[in-house]
Amino acid sequence: MDSQKYCFKENENVTVGKACFLISNVTTGSVNLQQEALQRIISTLANKNDEIQNFIDTLNHTLKGVQENSSNILSELDEEFDSLYSILDEVKESMINCIKQEQARKSQELQSQISQCNNALENSEELLEFATRSLDIKEPEEFSKAARQIKDRVTMASAFRLSLKPKVSDNMTHLMVDFSQERQMLQTLKFLPVPKAPEIDPVECLVADNSVTVAWRMLEEDNKIDHFILEHRKTNYDGLPRVKDERCWEIIDNIKGTEYTLSGLKFDSKYMNFRVRACNKAVAGEYSDPVTLETKALNFNLDNSSSHLNLKVEDTCVEWDPTGGKGQESKMKGKENKGSYKFLKIVYLLSKEFLIHFEAVPSDIFLFIYMTFTFYLLP
Protein backbone atom coordinates (compact mmCIF):
# COMPACT_ATOMS: atom_id res chain seq x y z
CA MET A 1 0.00 0.00 0.00
CA ASP A 2 2.83 2.40 0.83
CA SER A 3 4.55 1.72 -2.48
CA GLN A 4 1.30 2.42 -4.35
CA LYS A 5 0.86 5.71 -2.50
CA TYR A 6 4.45 6.64 -3.29
CA CYS A 7 3.99 5.93 -6.99
CA PHE A 8 0.82 7.98 -7.01
CA LYS A 9 2.57 10.96 -5.45
CA GLU A 10 5.49 10.53 -7.83
CA ASN A 11 3.11 10.57 -10.80
CA GLU A 12 1.50 13.72 -9.44
CA ASN A 13 4.89 15.37 -9.14
CA VAL A 14 5.75 14.35 -12.70
CA THR A 15 2.45 15.77 -13.96
CA VAL A 16 2.93 19.05 -12.12
CA GLY A 17 6.58 19.20 -13.19
CA LYS A 18 5.74 18.70 -16.85
CA ALA A 19 3.00 21.30 -16.66
CA CYS A 20 5.31 23.82 -14.98
CA PHE A 21 7.96 23.12 -17.61
CA LEU A 22 5.46 23.79 -20.40
CA ILE A 23 4.32 27.03 -18.77
CA SER A 24 7.86 28.30 -18.30
CA ASN A 25 9.09 27.35 -21.77
CA VAL A 26 6.22 28.19 -24.12
CA THR A 27 6.32 31.29 -26.24
CA THR A 28 3.97 34.19 -25.87
CA GLY A 29 1.84 32.99 -28.75
CA SER A 30 1.26 29.53 -27.31
CA VAL A 31 -1.54 30.61 -25.01
CA ASN A 32 -3.53 27.43 -25.54
CA LEU A 33 -0.64 25.25 -24.41
CA GLN A 34 -0.19 27.44 -21.36
CA GLN A 35 -3.86 27.19 -20.51
CA GLU A 36 -3.85 23.41 -20.88
CA ALA A 37 -0.74 23.07 -18.71
CA LEU A 38 -2.18 25.43 -16.12
CA GLN A 39 -5.45 23.52 -16.17
CA ARG A 40 -3.59 20.29 -15.41
CA ILE A 41 -1.85 21.98 -12.49
CA ILE A 42 -5.16 23.32 -11.19
CA SER A 43 -6.77 19.88 -11.51
CA THR A 44 -3.86 18.19 -9.72
CA LEU A 45 -3.86 20.78 -6.94
CA ALA A 46 -7.63 20.54 -6.55
CA ASN A 47 -7.42 16.74 -6.26
CA LYS A 48 -4.58 17.02 -3.75
CA ASN A 49 -6.50 19.61 -1.72
CA ASP A 50 -9.55 17.36 -1.74
CA GLU A 51 -7.41 14.42 -0.60
CA ILE A 52 -5.84 16.47 2.22
CA GLN A 53 -9.24 17.81 3.30
CA ASN A 54 -10.62 14.27 3.39
CA PHE A 55 -7.63 13.23 5.50
CA ILE A 56 -8.22 16.17 7.88
CA ASP A 57 -11.88 15.14 8.20
CA THR A 58 -10.73 11.59 8.94
CA LEU A 59 -8.32 12.83 11.63
CA ASN A 60 -11.00 15.02 13.23
CA HIS A 61 -13.46 12.13 13.16
CA THR A 62 -10.84 9.84 14.71
CA LEU A 63 -10.02 12.44 17.39
CA LYS A 64 -13.69 12.77 18.26
CA GLY A 65 -13.98 8.98 18.39
CA VAL A 66 -10.95 8.74 20.71
CA GLN A 67 -12.51 11.23 23.12
CA GLU A 68 -15.94 9.60 23.08
CA ASN A 69 -14.61 6.04 23.31
CA SER A 70 -12.19 6.97 26.10
CA SER A 71 -15.05 8.48 28.09
CA ASN A 72 -17.16 5.36 27.53
CA ILE A 73 -14.30 3.05 28.49
CA LEU A 74 -13.63 5.04 31.68
CA SER A 75 -17.30 4.78 32.62
CA GLU A 76 -17.26 1.03 31.99
CA LEU A 77 -14.06 0.70 34.04
CA ASP A 78 -15.67 2.55 36.95
CA GLU A 79 -18.69 0.27 36.72
CA GLU A 80 -16.51 -2.85 36.73
CA PHE A 81 -14.52 -1.72 39.77
CA ASP A 82 -17.69 -0.59 41.54
CA SER A 83 -19.03 -4.08 40.90
CA LEU A 84 -15.87 -5.57 42.42
CA TYR A 85 -16.13 -3.25 45.41
CA SER A 86 -19.77 -4.23 45.86
CA ILE A 87 -18.91 -7.93 45.75
CA LEU A 88 -16.09 -7.42 48.26
CA ASP A 89 -18.41 -5.50 50.57
CA GLU A 90 -21.00 -8.27 50.34
CA VAL A 91 -18.42 -10.97 51.06
CA LYS A 92 -16.99 -8.93 53.93
CA GLU A 93 -20.44 -8.44 55.45
CA SER A 94 -21.17 -12.15 55.13
CA MET A 95 -17.90 -13.12 56.80
CA ILE A 96 -18.43 -10.58 59.58
CA ASN A 97 -21.85 -12.12 60.22
CA CYS A 98 -20.27 -15.58 60.40
CA ILE A 99 -17.77 -14.38 63.02
CA LYS A 100 -20.47 -12.67 65.05
CA GLN A 101 -22.70 -15.74 64.93
CA GLU A 102 -19.83 -17.95 66.08
CA GLN A 103 -19.04 -15.50 68.86
CA ALA A 104 -22.68 -15.47 69.98
CA ARG A 105 -22.91 -19.28 69.92
CA LYS A 106 -19.77 -19.79 71.99
CA SER A 107 -20.70 -17.00 74.38
CA GLN A 108 -24.11 -18.54 74.93
CA GLU A 109 -22.61 -21.96 75.62
CA LEU A 110 -20.09 -20.55 78.08
CA GLN A 111 -22.71 -18.38 79.80
CA SER A 112 -24.92 -21.44 80.21
CA GLN A 113 -22.06 -23.42 81.73
CA ILE A 114 -21.19 -20.53 84.05
CA SER A 115 -24.80 -20.32 85.21
CA GLN A 116 -24.93 -24.07 85.88
CA CYS A 117 -21.64 -23.95 87.76
CA ASN A 118 -22.82 -21.01 89.88
CA ASN A 119 -25.98 -22.88 90.85
CA ALA A 120 -24.01 -26.03 91.62
CA LEU A 121 -21.48 -24.06 93.64
CA GLU A 122 -24.21 -22.34 95.62
CA ASN A 123 -25.87 -25.68 96.45
CA SER A 124 -22.54 -27.24 97.32
CA GLU A 125 -21.60 -24.39 99.67
CA GLU A 126 -24.96 -24.66 101.38
CA LEU A 127 -24.49 -28.41 101.78
CA LEU A 128 -20.95 -27.88 103.06
CA GLU A 129 -22.18 -25.42 105.66
CA PHE A 130 -24.91 -27.85 106.75
CA ALA A 131 -22.40 -30.69 107.02
CA THR A 132 -20.05 -28.52 109.05
CA ARG A 133 -22.81 -27.64 111.50
CA SER A 134 -23.81 -31.30 111.76
CA LEU A 135 -20.42 -32.11 113.24
CA ASP A 136 -21.41 -30.17 116.37
CA ILE A 137 -24.55 -32.25 117.01
CA LYS A 138 -24.14 -34.17 120.31
CA GLU A 139 -27.18 -36.41 120.23
CA PRO A 140 -26.57 -39.61 118.28
CA GLU A 141 -30.03 -39.83 116.73
CA GLU A 142 -30.02 -36.28 115.41
CA PHE A 143 -26.45 -36.75 114.19
CA SER A 144 -27.39 -39.95 112.34
CA LYS A 145 -30.40 -38.25 110.81
CA ALA A 146 -28.30 -35.28 109.67
CA ALA A 147 -25.64 -37.60 108.27
CA ARG A 148 -28.22 -39.50 106.20
CA GLN A 149 -29.60 -36.21 104.83
CA ILE A 150 -26.12 -35.03 103.93
CA LYS A 151 -25.41 -38.34 102.21
CA ASP A 152 -28.62 -38.17 100.18
CA ARG A 153 -28.04 -34.56 99.24
CA VAL A 154 -24.45 -35.26 98.21
CA THR A 155 -25.64 -38.14 96.07
CA MET A 156 -28.14 -35.89 94.31
CA ALA A 157 -25.93 -32.77 94.28
CA SER A 158 -25.47 -31.18 90.85
CA ALA A 159 -21.87 -30.37 91.67
CA PHE A 160 -20.98 -34.06 91.31
CA ARG A 161 -22.92 -34.44 88.06
CA LEU A 162 -21.57 -31.28 86.48
CA SER A 163 -18.98 -31.50 83.68
CA LEU A 164 -16.02 -29.31 84.43
CA LYS A 165 -14.86 -29.25 80.81
CA PRO A 166 -15.79 -26.20 78.69
CA LYS A 167 -18.20 -27.06 75.90
CA VAL A 168 -16.45 -24.61 73.57
CA SER A 169 -12.99 -23.15 73.35
CA ASP A 170 -11.85 -19.64 72.77
CA ASN A 171 -10.12 -20.68 69.56
CA MET A 172 -11.41 -18.69 66.54
CA THR A 173 -8.69 -19.60 64.07
CA HIS A 174 -11.16 -21.49 61.88
CA LEU A 175 -12.55 -18.09 60.87
CA MET A 176 -9.25 -16.49 59.97
CA VAL A 177 -8.58 -15.50 56.35
CA ASP A 178 -5.61 -15.28 54.03
CA PHE A 179 -6.23 -13.35 50.81
CA SER A 180 -2.69 -13.48 49.47
CA GLN A 181 -3.75 -15.49 46.39
CA GLU A 182 -6.72 -13.23 45.80
CA ARG A 183 -4.48 -10.19 46.10
CA GLN A 184 -2.18 -11.68 43.48
CA MET A 185 -5.17 -12.29 41.23
CA LEU A 186 -6.32 -8.71 41.69
CA GLN A 187 -2.84 -7.49 40.87
CA THR A 188 -3.00 -9.40 37.58
CA LEU A 189 -6.13 -7.56 36.45
CA LYS A 190 -5.57 -6.21 32.95
CA PHE A 191 -7.37 -5.18 29.82
CA LEU A 192 -8.98 -7.78 27.59
CA PRO A 193 -6.81 -9.23 24.81
CA VAL A 194 -7.94 -7.63 21.54
CA PRO A 195 -7.52 -9.42 18.19
CA LYS A 196 -5.18 -7.85 15.67
CA ALA A 197 -6.61 -6.15 12.61
CA PRO A 198 -7.02 -8.41 9.55
CA GLU A 199 -5.72 -7.45 6.12
CA ILE A 200 -7.96 -7.48 3.05
CA ASP A 201 -6.19 -8.90 -0.01
CA PRO A 202 -7.37 -6.94 -3.09
CA VAL A 203 -5.81 -9.52 -5.41
CA GLU A 204 -8.07 -12.25 -4.02
CA CYS A 205 -11.18 -10.05 -4.17
CA LEU A 206 -13.50 -10.55 -7.13
CA VAL A 207 -16.19 -8.27 -8.58
CA ALA A 208 -18.34 -10.07 -11.16
CA ASP A 209 -21.94 -10.80 -12.10
CA ASN A 210 -23.57 -8.48 -9.54
CA SER A 211 -21.61 -10.01 -6.68
CA VAL A 212 -18.46 -9.17 -4.74
CA THR A 213 -16.18 -11.69 -3.05
CA VAL A 214 -13.99 -10.21 -0.31
CA ALA A 215 -11.01 -12.17 1.04
CA TRP A 216 -8.77 -11.31 3.99
CA ARG A 217 -6.13 -12.87 6.23
CA MET A 218 -4.66 -12.47 9.69
CA LEU A 219 -1.09 -11.20 9.80
CA GLU A 220 -0.54 -13.14 13.05
CA GLU A 221 -2.15 -16.47 13.85
CA ASP A 222 -4.76 -16.17 16.59
CA ASN A 223 -6.62 -19.32 17.63
CA LYS A 224 -8.94 -17.36 19.93
CA ILE A 225 -10.77 -15.61 17.07
CA ASP A 226 -14.43 -16.60 17.08
CA HIS A 227 -15.78 -14.75 14.03
CA PHE A 228 -15.37 -11.74 11.75
CA ILE A 229 -17.49 -8.66 11.02
CA LEU A 230 -17.54 -7.34 7.44
CA GLU A 231 -18.75 -3.82 6.68
CA HIS A 232 -19.39 -2.34 3.25
CA ARG A 233 -20.93 0.71 1.64
CA LYS A 234 -21.31 2.20 -1.82
CA THR A 235 -19.48 5.33 -2.89
CA ASN A 236 -18.61 7.33 -5.97
CA TYR A 237 -15.14 8.27 -4.71
CA ASP A 238 -11.97 6.34 -5.36
CA GLY A 239 -9.30 5.90 -2.70
CA LEU A 240 -9.80 6.02 1.05
CA PRO A 241 -13.36 6.16 2.42
CA ARG A 242 -14.66 9.64 3.14
CA VAL A 243 -15.90 10.54 6.58
CA LYS A 244 -18.55 12.82 5.12
CA ASP A 245 -19.85 10.16 2.76
CA GLU A 246 -23.62 10.24 3.06
CA ARG A 247 -23.98 6.45 2.96
CA CYS A 248 -23.76 4.39 6.13
CA TRP A 249 -21.79 1.20 6.60
CA GLU A 250 -23.79 -2.00 6.23
CA ILE A 251 -22.76 -4.77 8.64
CA ILE A 252 -22.50 -8.51 8.09
CA ASP A 253 -21.81 -10.25 11.41
CA ASN A 254 -20.79 -13.73 12.54
CA ILE A 255 -18.64 -14.70 9.53
CA LYS A 256 -16.68 -17.82 10.44
CA GLY A 257 -14.26 -17.91 7.50
CA THR A 258 -11.82 -15.46 5.92
CA GLU A 259 -13.87 -14.94 2.77
CA TYR A 260 -17.38 -13.74 2.08
CA THR A 261 -19.45 -13.22 -1.08
CA LEU A 262 -22.13 -10.55 -1.35
CA SER A 263 -24.55 -11.56 -4.08
CA GLY A 264 -27.59 -9.95 -5.66
CA LEU A 265 -26.05 -6.49 -5.58
CA LYS A 266 -27.05 -3.58 -7.78
CA PHE A 267 -24.01 -1.72 -9.02
CA ASP A 268 -25.51 1.77 -9.02
CA SER A 269 -22.29 3.41 -7.79
CA LYS A 270 -18.75 3.48 -9.14
CA TYR A 271 -17.06 1.92 -6.12
CA MET A 272 -17.65 0.03 -2.88
CA ASN A 273 -15.68 0.38 0.38
CA PHE A 274 -14.93 -2.68 2.49
CA ARG A 275 -13.41 -3.19 5.94
CA VAL A 276 -13.32 -6.15 8.32
CA ARG A 277 -12.56 -6.76 11.99
CA ALA A 278 -11.88 -9.90 14.03
CA CYS A 279 -13.74 -10.81 17.23
CA ASN A 280 -13.01 -13.20 20.06
CA LYS A 281 -15.49 -14.29 22.74
CA ALA A 282 -15.17 -10.95 24.54
CA VAL A 283 -14.36 -8.01 22.26
CA ALA A 284 -13.93 -6.92 18.65
CA GLY A 285 -10.55 -5.80 17.35
CA GLU A 286 -9.43 -2.96 15.13
CA TYR A 287 -10.78 -2.50 11.62
CA SER A 288 -8.59 -3.49 8.73
CA ASP A 289 -7.35 -0.83 6.36
CA PRO A 290 -10.35 -0.06 4.12
CA VAL A 291 -10.26 -1.27 0.54
CA THR A 292 -12.09 0.37 -2.35
CA LEU A 293 -13.20 -1.89 -5.23
CA GLU A 294 -14.52 -0.68 -8.55
CA THR A 295 -18.00 -1.99 -9.36
CA LYS A 296 -18.46 -1.75 -13.10
CA ALA A 297 -22.02 -1.89 -14.37
CA LEU A 298 -23.40 -2.15 -17.90
CA ASN A 299 -26.13 0.38 -18.66
CA PHE A 300 -27.99 0.14 -21.96
CA ASN A 301 -31.32 0.96 -23.60
CA LEU A 302 -33.27 -1.16 -26.08
CA ASP A 303 -34.21 0.18 -29.52
CA ASN A 304 -37.95 0.06 -30.16
CA SER A 305 -37.58 0.74 -33.89
CA SER A 306 -35.59 -2.43 -34.56
CA SER A 307 -37.53 -4.82 -32.30
CA HIS A 308 -40.17 -7.39 -33.23
CA LEU A 309 -43.63 -6.05 -34.04
CA ASN A 310 -45.16 -7.81 -31.05
CA LEU A 311 -42.53 -6.58 -28.60
CA LYS A 312 -43.33 -3.46 -26.62
CA VAL A 313 -39.95 -1.96 -25.77
CA GLU A 314 -39.39 0.94 -23.36
CA ASP A 315 -35.76 1.59 -22.38
CA THR A 316 -34.83 -1.57 -20.43
CA CYS A 317 -38.35 -3.03 -20.19
CA VAL A 318 -39.73 -5.51 -22.76
CA GLU A 319 -43.32 -6.82 -22.90
CA TRP A 320 -44.95 -9.21 -25.39
CA ASP A 321 -47.98 -7.68 -27.11
CA PRO A 322 -49.83 -10.26 -29.26
CA THR A 323 -51.85 -7.52 -31.01
CA GLY A 324 -49.00 -5.14 -31.55
CA GLY A 325 -48.11 -6.33 -35.07
CA LYS A 326 -51.58 -6.24 -36.72
CA GLY A 327 -51.89 -3.75 -39.53
CA GLN A 328 -48.21 -2.88 -39.42
CA GLU A 329 -46.67 -5.80 -41.32
CA SER A 330 -46.78 -4.07 -44.71
CA LYS A 331 -45.42 -0.91 -43.15
CA MET A 332 -42.45 -2.68 -41.62
CA LYS A 333 -41.47 -4.90 -44.58
CA GLY A 334 -39.21 -2.25 -46.01
CA LYS A 335 -37.35 -1.96 -42.71
CA GLU A 336 -37.00 -5.71 -42.12
CA ASN A 337 -33.47 -6.10 -43.42
CA LYS A 338 -32.30 -2.92 -41.74
CA GLY A 339 -33.97 -3.92 -38.47
CA SER A 340 -32.42 -7.39 -38.62
CA TYR A 341 -28.98 -5.90 -39.00
CA LYS A 342 -29.54 -3.49 -36.10
CA PHE A 343 -30.88 -6.24 -33.87
CA LEU A 344 -28.00 -8.62 -34.57
CA LYS A 345 -25.59 -5.78 -33.90
CA ILE A 346 -27.28 -5.07 -30.53
CA VAL A 347 -27.10 -8.77 -29.59
CA TYR A 348 -23.41 -8.83 -30.49
CA LEU A 349 -22.63 -5.66 -28.51
CA LEU A 350 -24.60 -6.84 -25.48
CA SER A 351 -22.78 -10.16 -25.45
CA LYS A 352 -19.43 -8.45 -25.88
CA GLU A 353 -20.07 -5.96 -23.07
CA PHE A 354 -21.17 -8.67 -20.65
CA LEU A 355 -18.16 -10.78 -21.53
CA ILE A 356 -15.91 -7.80 -20.77
CA HIS A 357 -17.57 -6.64 -17.55
CA PHE A 358 -18.77 -9.92 -16.07
CA GLU A 359 -16.35 -12.45 -17.60
CA ALA A 360 -19.36 -14.61 -18.52
CA VAL A 361 -22.85 -13.90 -19.83
CA PRO A 362 -25.35 -14.26 -16.94
CA SER A 363 -28.04 -16.83 -17.52
CA ASP A 364 -30.93 -14.37 -17.24
CA ILE A 365 -29.41 -11.94 -19.80
CA PHE A 366 -28.56 -14.80 -22.13
CA LEU A 367 -32.15 -16.05 -21.88
CA PHE A 368 -33.44 -12.55 -22.59
CA ILE A 369 -31.22 -12.24 -25.70
CA TYR A 370 -32.29 -15.68 -26.87
CA MET A 371 -36.02 -14.96 -26.39
CA THR A 372 -35.75 -11.58 -28.09
CA PHE A 373 -33.87 -13.10 -31.00
CA THR A 374 -36.50 -15.87 -31.31
CA PHE A 375 -39.43 -13.46 -31.17
CA TYR A 376 -37.80 -11.24 -33.73
CA LEU A 377 -37.44 -14.06 -36.25
CA LEU A 378 -41.01 -15.31 -35.78
CA PRO A 379 -43.23 -14.61 -38.84
* Statement to judge: residues 221 and 138 lie in one domain: no
* Statement to judge: residues 254 and 334 lie in one domain: no
Q: Summarize the confidence of residues 69-90 as an average pLDDT.
A: 92
In a domain, residue 112? The reply is yes
* Statement to judge: residues 110 and 173 lie in one domain: yes
* Statement to judge: residues 218 and 290 lie in one domain: yes
- Which range marks the domain in which residue 329 is found? 304-377
The residues, ordered by sequence, that sit 6+ positions from 186 with a Cβ below 8 Å of its Cβ are: none
pLDDT of residue 364: 52
Domain-ending residue, one of 166, 187, 208: 187
Whether the pLDDT of residue 196 is over 70: the answer is yes
Q: How many CB atoms lie within 10 A of CB 32?
A: 9
Whether the pLDDT of residue 67 is over 70: the answer is yes
* Statement to judge: residues 281 and 320 lie in one domain: no
pLDDT of residue 87: 94
Q: Summarize the confidence of residues 348-367 as an average pLDDT.
A: 51
In a domain, residue 215? The reply is yes
* Statement to judge: residues 101 and 178 lie in one domain: yes
* Statement to judge: residues 203 and 286 lie in one domain: yes
In a domain, residue 136? The reply is yes
Whether the pLDDT of residue 207 is over 60: the answer is yes
In a domain, residue 31? The reply is no
In a domain, residue 134? The reply is yes
- How far is it, in rounded angstroms, from Cα 285 to Cα 278? 5
Whether the pLDDT of residue 311 is over 80: the answer is no
Q: How many CB atoms lie within 10 A of CB 208?
A: 13
In a domain, residue 48? The reply is no
Domain-ending residue, one of 297, 314, 339: 297
* Statement to judge: residues 168 and 201 lie in one domain: no
% residues pLDDT > 90 (the chain): 25
* Statement to judge: residues 134 and 210 lie in one domain: no
pLDDT of residue 7: 35
pLDDT of residue 115: 92
pLDDT of residue 71: 93
- What is the DSSP track for 14-65? HHHHHHHHHHHHS-TT-HHHHHHHHHHHHHHHHHHHHHHHHHHHHHHHHHHH
pLDDT digits (tens, 9 = 90+) for 19-33: 455 455 545 556 788
Whether the pLDDT of residue 374 is over 80: the answer is no
Q: Summarize the confidence of residues 204-219 as an average pLDDT.
A: 90
* Statement to judge: residues 200 and 285 lie in one domain: yes
The overall pTM is greater than 0.85: no
* Statement to judge: residues 103 and 182 lie in one domain: yes
Angular region, 209: left φ>0, alpha ψ -120 to 50, beta rest: left
Domain count, the chain: 3
pLDDT band (50, 70, 90) for residue 198: very high
Q: Summarize the confidence of residues 214-243 as an average pLDDT.
A: 85
Contact at 8 Å (CB) between 228 and 277? yes
In a domain, residue 69? The reply is no
pLDDT band (50, 70, 90) for residue 6: very low
pLDDT band (50, 70, 90) for residue 355: very low
Please state, rounded to an integer, the average pLDDT across all residues of the chain. 78
pLDDT of residue 242: 67
Domain-ending residue, one of 187, 221, 242: 187
In a domain, residue 30? The reply is no
Q: Summarize the confidence of residues 198-212 as an average pLDDT.
A: 90
Question: Measuring CA to CA, how many Å separate 141 from each of 134, 137, 300, 376?
Answer: 12, 9, 144, 153
pLDDT of residue 235: 85
pLDDT band (50, 70, 90) for residue 106: very high
* Statement to judge: residues 292 and 202 lie in one domain: yes
pLDDT of residue 190: 83
pLDDT of residue 51: 82
Contact at 8 Å (CB) between 197 and 253? no
pLDDT of residue 343: 52
Q: For position 278, which CATH number holds?
A: 2.60.40.10
